[in-house]
Amino acid sequence: MSVLLFIGSFAWGALTAQFLVQILSSFTSACIYLYGLLFSRVKKRLNAIFFATSLTQAVVFAILLVGGFWLIDLYIPYPSNADLAAAAGAFVCYFVYCVLQVPDKILVARTCAMRPFFAEAARARRLSPNEVAAFARNEWAGPSSKRKMIAALR
């Protein structure tokens, strides 16, 4: 039984890190989309959809995080020091791994919220999430020009 608790603690530490990073990045993206909804030239409907999606994602991961801790407290009242160490080690390692991906998510959210036609151009090219970040970084990071936007849509 203690081996299963050790493995479960390791898995929960990794999940906790993922949930926490998802909550923070989704809430940050929701704030960016709300700013874009209020002050951007991007279609308001598009920013409203992105805002609602990001906020819903933040709420779902917050529920998963709190619910997981509630279940652990319900079934494992006194974890051992080894279990706590496994959870903490997995949390730190996985947190560092996940945090490295956040700047790209924020860049994509900012570009979608503030640059007209970026979301449509990325969708038209059928890019993967990593390719969307590279597309935002390389082709859309500079000052916007109408010619550049139209060329990206083709």
* Domain assignment of residue 105, yes or no: no
Residue 36 placed within a domain: yes
Torsional sign, CA 94, 95, 99, 100:
negative
- Mean pLDDT of all residues in 107-116: 92
Residue 107 maps to a domain:
no
Range of the domain at 152: 115-154
**149 and 77 fall within a common domain:** no
Q: Is the pLDDT of residue 149 over 80?
A: no
Residue 119 tokens read as 């979301």
Give the count of domains, the chain: 2
The pLDDT of residue 4 is 87
Query: pLDDT-based confidence at 35, cuts 50/70/90?
Result: very high
State whether 7 and 48 are in the same domain: yes
Same domain, 49 and 84: yes
pLDDT at 151: 64
Q: How confident is the model at residue 146 (pLDDT cuts 50, 70, 90)?
A: low
Lowest mean pLDDT among 16-30, 39-53, 84-98, 129-143: 129-143
Q: What is the 3-state secondary structure (H, E, C) of 9-78?
A: HHHHHHHHHHHHHHHHHHHHHHHHHHHHHHHCCCCHHHHHHHHHHHHHHHHHHHHHHHHHHHHHHHHCCC
Distance (Å, whole) CA 141 – CA 62: 32
Q: Establish if 21 belongs to a structural domain.
A: yes
109 domain-assigned? no
Residue 77 lies in a domain: yes
| Average pLDDT of span 18-28 | 97
Are 18 and 68 part of one and the same domain? yes
Predicted TM-score (pTM) of the model is 0.85
Residues 90 and 137 in one domain: no
Asked, for residue 68, whether it belongs to a domain, the answer is yes
Lowest mean pLDDT among 34-38, 49-53, 115-119, 138-142: 138-142
pLDDT band at 138 (very low <50, low <70, confident <90, very high): confident
Q: Is the pLDDT of residue 33 over 80?
A: yes
Is residue 39 assigned to a domain?
Answer: yes
